Copies of this chain bind each other. A is one copy, B any other.
Amino acid sequence: MRAMAARRIHHLGVAVAELAPAVATYERMLGARVEQRERVDEQGVEAVALLVGDDSRVELLAPLGADSFVGRFIERRGPGVHHVAYGVDDLEAELERLRAAGANLIDETPRPGLYGPVAFIHHDTFHGVLTELVESEES
């Protein structure tokens, strides 16, 4: 049995104005490869997950409109790192543990994500870093 804790950085979420030039930059500059793409209309976001090396992942997030969470983030802070996601073995158990430790949970219960169930924790808990937990089979 694994100790309850984050396993590793699962991905970085990076807000960009436009996907195509950003994907091209990561491919050309870092040798990254596209893993998957997804458009989520109800959240106003289009995402491209890139693999960097064998086991690191950058998720580029572009707004479908200015009044989306990514659009508002870019308007407020400019493009850049939007969130950091850590992989966990048991998301429900982690949320319970974090709640008991005083974390400010955005998602009280897991919701579906690109890789499996996810939950976000408010950036004030992590000193300015919007943090996501991802439960997935692999890393």
Contacts and interface: CB of A to CB of B under 8 A. Distances in A.
Contacts of A15: 128
Interface stretch (A35-43, A48-56, A106-114): A48-56
A15 B126 CA distance: 11
Contacts of A22: 127
Contacts of A7: 52-54
Interface string A1-31: 0011111110010111100011001101111
A122 to B, nearest CB: 12
Report how many copies the assembly holds: 2
A53 B127 contact: no
Most buried by B among A3, A5, A17, A123: A5
A93 to B, nearest CB: 13
Contact of A80 (B31, B56, B123): B123
Given A29-B125, A52-B86, A81-B129, 20 more contacts: A5-B30, A6-B32, A6-B53, A6-B56, A7-B54, A8-B52, A8-B54, A9-B9, A16-B128, A22-B127, A26-B126, A28-B101, A29-B101, A29-B126, A30-B86, A53-B86, A79-B127, A80-B123, A80-B127, A81-B84
User: Which 10 A/B pairs are nearest by Cβ-Cβ distance?
Assistant: A5-B31, A79-B128, A80-B128, A81-B81, A8-B53, A8-B56, A9-B56, A6-B30, A7-B53, A22-B127
